[in-house]
Chains A and B, each alone.
Chain A
């Protein structure tokens, strides 16, 4: 490999070029339907749910943890918010706000409970959040009677399917969540502590960091991100369903995080990376749909791309570590 090529590769430029070439080819194959603004906005809308879940998961994964409960927490918060919305004697903004706060509270509480055995007894988060996955899934069926709970007030639907400046509401939410989370991770004490904790928990503790609090917060953040997604789905479909969020959402959120360069070993990661990870996965699906790739084959391609992205990233890091 020539030096220029190497350099480009190291700066991720090669990835961008490859993706660009790929997109151009797809675009030609799809007769211009791929790279037109309307399609791209659709892709952004499609990834916004996954991306917001991934943002929360990024915090958890940087601490070398994992949150398996986010998918069913989307369902539970959606159901709870639908019920709350139907039982509140308000209308307009107060109704929306209180409903949203109720969902966030449920998400935060679930995250807090997730963290409790992790920080108090040092249990593996894989187990505690897996238990939470089951509990929240069961609760969402209980609170909904197993059927989607239709939301009576039309205001939610207008939010869920609305647009601002041509951007769908979920995209706006995604941009705001990514921006806030990115600042939180890179520019605040909390963010620094998250990374330090993931890199060396004992050193972080001895440096005076309240590690239990930081750890608890990352699960709370993850739970709240799930609640936001629960809200967006609930608003979009005008109903809270116990089936929403419980399919591929969890794994695709984790995939977005990992493809985005965050290490499952902890101590390293970025929010923007997660956004681009989600975007890459979204574009890939969309492209395959446009050129009529068989849906079974789509899964195979996605798996290969995830593996490839992680392998390339690892090779790049190794090269940089040597240089």
Chain B
């Protein structure tokens, strides 16, 4: 790709971007959200057209005007959000749009042969007859990869492929990528996870503000340099220093015998004012289920939740909110935001009662005032409070979710994957915000799959495995190895 430029009305998304991908290599593409990675990849995949520049494959210039063109040229995209039809089985998804046909009818036998041939080449196994909706995230990702390869893709773009995978699944994915490399495929690997770059990338290209800042061999490009190139400034303290919990700090949240079988059973823990308790564990261990049950998003079978020494009965999210709980979900688009509503409307949604006047009408001016205040405090980058949330970047969307919950006087904040898929700058802003909440006497429970985040932003760490809390660490006593061991059950 040479000299690629793309502008949207009012925004210059890319200017003069050039990058080269060799056969048999993994090129990592990193950059903050809004740096232009997605736009660049959408141009390669034919989902967007560049204003300037050219693309050549095997030395020959090509025109990519549609996703179909890209497919024909051997470009396969594996988006972070999968494009599978949940009701169709693995086999049908792999061959979707490419079904072998004989005499106008689907040729089931040829389909099975073709799909298993692809899987054999990849060295992976999948239950082909199972609907995609009943497969794990890792298996769904394998379907996406198999789908791309069944169309003979030689250039494979993976967008945050490890975001939802467990460590074991990540290892399997990396082994698969190594095999693809060996077979001569070129892979563009987009990731926010610094620690995995040295393991997987041959070269690393950093994008910032729509331009390539730097490209180096991965061995010559340590994560600290990568981060510096991404943000354009040295980012020495990734996590803000947390103040220790005061010895006389009262217990704010107390959870006893919380169960929602089969996901979680007999959960006991408490969080004090000014304390962050991190919930570590593998995907599916039950961490999300714990916070959902506390918030009233799901109804627990048994258990008591006590807030500020008052036992509360939570049977629905509005009970939780009334009791002083703010629940920031992991899936901001699916559960946190109404994308078709404005920033203002999303911010005030959970606390509209604050904005109604005596006639029971919403005071638009007070609403706008509050929204502007939150936008300012959280540095939400939006042209106006009236912008639709759909048009904001991931990090700014997450800030809108936070703004929504900061409007209330919550005592307990449940953060589920608070920084998933957002850029480094927005991450540290969110950490700082968590620290401010602590200073105001709040208690925080944080679920995170990013080990450095759990280790760096928790006073105590509870490890969840198979629906129960199996181990507790203090911040000082926790090492990555020990936490992983407890989470996987590798060592008692």
Q: Which residues of chain A are near B364, meaning CB under 8 Å? A: 187
Task: From known contacts A206-B329, A208-B317, A267-B340, infer whether A188 and B335 are also in contact, taking CB-CB under 8 Å.
Answer: no
Check if B317 sits within 8 Å of A205, measured CB to CB. Answer: yes
Is B25 located at the chain interface by the 8 A CB criterion?
no
Check if A202 sits within 8 Å of B349, measured CB to CB. Answer: no
Size of A's binding interface in residues, CB under 8 A? 23
Residue on A nearest B336 in the bound complex, by CB: A203
Instruction: Pick from B318, B320, B361: contact of A210, CB below 8 A.
Output: B318
Residue on B nearest A190 in the bound complex, by CB: B360
Is A117 located at the chain interface by the 8 A CB criterion?
no
Distance, CA A317 to CA B335, complexed state (A): 25
Q: Which residues of chain B are near A192, meaning CB under 8 Å? A: 345, 349, 352, 362
Check if B340 sits within 8 Å of A268, measured CB to CB. Answer: yes
Q: How large is the interface on B (under 10, 10 to 19, 20 to 34, 35 or more residues)?
A: 20 to 34
Number of A-B contacts (CB under 8 A): 77
Check if A207 sits within 8 Å of B9, measured CB to CB. Answer: no
Q: Which residues of chain B are near A199, meaning CB under 8 Å? A: 338-341
Is A256 located at the chain interface by the 8 A CB criterion?
no
Q: Give chain A nearest CB distance to B404 CB in angstroms.
A: 7
Check if A187 sits within 8 Å of B349, measured CB to CB. Answer: no
Task: From known contacts A206-B329, A208-B317, infer whether A189 and B337 are also in contact, taking CB-CB under 8 Å.
Answer: no
Distance, CA A188 to CA B320, complexed state (A): 23
Distance, CA A209 to CA B346, complexed state (A): 13
Residue on B nearest A265 in the bound complex, by CB: B340
Q: Give chain A nearest CB distance to B375 CB in angstroms.
A: 18
Check if B340 sits within 8 Å of A202, measured CB to CB. Answer: no
Distance, CA A316 to CA B276, complexed state (A): 48
Is A323 located at the chain interface by the 8 A CB criterion?
yes
Q: Which residues of chain A are near B480, meaning CB under 8 Å? A: none
Is A322 located at the chain interface by the 8 A CB criterion?
yes
Q: Which residues of chain B are near A205, meaning CB under 8 Å? A: 297, 316-317
Is B454 located at the chain interface by the 8 A CB criterion?
no
Is A287 located at the chain interface by the 8 A CB criterion?
no
Within 8 A of A (CB), among B355-409: 356, 360-362, 364, 404
Check if A200 sits within 8 Å of B352, measured CB to CB. Answer: no
Distance, CA A193 to CA B318, complexed state (A): 13
Q: Give chain A nearest CB distance to B403 CB in angstroms.
A: 12
Q: Give chain B nearest CB distance to A195 CB in angstroms.
A: 7
Residue interface bits B293-324, CB-to-A below 8 A is 1, else 0: 00101000000000000000000111011100
Is B213 located at the chain interface by the 8 A CB criterion?
no
Distance, CA A208 to CA B356, complexed state (A): 16
Is A204 located at the chain interface by the 8 A CB criterion?
yes
Is A226 located at the chain interface by the 8 A CB criterion?
no
Task: From known contacts A189-B352, A205-B317, infer whether A323 and B335 are also in contact, taking CB-CB under 8 Å.
Answer: no
Residue on A nearest B367 in the bound complex, by CB: A192
Check if B317 sits within 8 Å of A207, measured CB to CB. Answer: yes
Q: Give chain B nearest CB distance to A226 CB in angstroms.
A: 25
Q: Which residues of chain A are near B339, meaning CB under 8 Å? A: 199-200
23 A/B residue pairs, CB under 8 Å, sorted by A? A188-B362, A189-B352, A189-B356, A189-B360, A189-B362, A192-B345, A192-B362, A193-B352, A195-B338, A196-B349, A199-B338, A199-B339, A199-B340, A200-B340, A205-B297, A205-B317, A206-B327, A208-B317, A208-B322, A210-B316, A210-B318, A267-B338, A267-B341
A interface residue numbers (CB < 8 A to B): 183, 187-189, 192-193, 195-196, 199-200, 202-210, 267-268, 322-323
Q: A199-B340, A209-B349 are in contact. List 5 more A-B contacts (CB 8 A).
A: A196-B341, A200-B334, A203-B336, A206-B335, A208-B320
